[in-house]
Amino acid sequence: MQIGGVMRVRLVTAAPDETAGAAIRKMLDAGVGSVVVCDGPALAGIFTERDVLRLAGEGADFEAIPLREVMTASLATISVDDGIHEAARLMKERRLRHLPVTEDGNLVGIVSIRDVLAYLAERLWSEQDESAHDTARALLERR
pTM over 0.85: no
> What tens digit of pLDDT does each residue of 59-100 get?
999 999 999 999 999 889 999 989 998 999 999 999 899 999
DSSP state of 19: B
The rounded distance, in Å, linking the Cα atoms of 8 and 50 is: 20
Are 6 and 119 contacting, i.e. CB atoms less than 8 angstroms apart?
Answer: yes
The rounded distance, in Å, linking the Cα atoms of 78 and 99 is: 7
Query: Quick one: pLDDT at residue 6?
Result: 84
Confidence of residue 37 (pLDDT cuts 50, 70, 90): very high
Output the domain CATH number for residue 38. Answer: 3.10.580.10
Number of domains in the chain: 1
Are 71 and 37 contacting, i.e. CB atoms less than 8 angstroms apart?
Answer: yes
Which residue range(s) make up the domain with 36? 3-140
